[in-house]
């Protein structure tokens, strides 16, 4: 096998992905998000399944350019987000799933740590980006905070994976009235959530989509 130039691998990969998605009926900024999801997963079929609330990409980009932070459900999402780009825009990535008080709260309430973390964040999520890529329970909790507690994120990236609760959690998200990007059904995962946020960060860095 021919040795590949590390500096050209990503460039060539993105060229291939763009070719595979030629003809996909997405506006420019949404297309860039779809390209990054396919690049991160190696699955071109995911692009057409993504669902974007109208204006969601623009809202996310505006928030990131204004210095908002990204709140995640699990450390895998946090680890996958480009913290350098986010810091350059004035934000940070926060995850409380391993926080001792959150762990105690989860035990007291009989819920998952990811759900307890969302509850603990509460109104700190207002006007911020929330990225949930693993735990359907975190997305259900967030939807409850939005509906009953008046919490209002700038954007929710909701792509939890699983056979129990993931499909239903994403359906709830689409009914909240909050800008969202999601992947309906049981498919999803932390790499997808991180890829979406990283695509938004690149757009924000370039001053596009808002």
Alpha helix ranges (H) inside the chain: 6-20, 28-41, 56-65, 75-80, 83-88, 100-109, 113-121, 136-149, 166-173, 190-206
| Catalytic residue status for 39 | yes
Which listed residue (36, 39, 113, 187) is catalytic? Answer: 39
Query: Residue 127: left (phi > 0), alpha (psi -120 to 50), or beta?
Result: left
Q: Is residue 31 within 8 Å of 52, Cβ to Cβ?
A: no
CA distance linking residue 128 with residue 152, whole number of Å: 8
**Coil/strand/helix, residue 192:** helix
Q: Is residue 167 within 8 Å of 51, Cβ to Cβ?
A: no
Please list the active-site residues.
39
């Amino acid at each position: 096998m021919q040795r590949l130039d590390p500096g050209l691998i990503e460039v060539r990969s993105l060229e291939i992905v763009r070719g595979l998605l030629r003809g996909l009926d997405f506006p420019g900024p949404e297309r860039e998000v779809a390209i990054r999801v396919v690049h991160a997963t190696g699955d071109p079929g995911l692009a057409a399944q993504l669902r974007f609330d109208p204006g969601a990409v623009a809202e996310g980009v505006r928030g990131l350019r204004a210095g908002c932070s990204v709140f995640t459900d699990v450390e895998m999402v946090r680890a996958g987000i480009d913290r350098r780009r986010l810091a350059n825009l004035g934000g940070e990535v926060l995850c409380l799933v391993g926080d001792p008080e959150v762990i105690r709260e989860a035990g007291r309430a009989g819920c998952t740590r990811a759900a307890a973390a969302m509850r603990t964040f509460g109104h700190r999520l207002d006007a911020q980006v929330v990225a949930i890529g693993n735990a359907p329970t975190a997305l259900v909790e967030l939807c409850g905070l939005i509906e009953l507690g008046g919490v209002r994120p700038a954007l929710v990236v909701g792509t939890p994976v699983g056979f129990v609760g993931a499909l239903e959690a994403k359906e709830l998200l689409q009914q909240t009235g909050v800008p969202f990007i999601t992947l309906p059904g049981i498919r999803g995962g932390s790499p997808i959530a991180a890829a979406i946020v990283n695509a938004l960060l690149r757009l924000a860095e370039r001053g596009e989509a808002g």
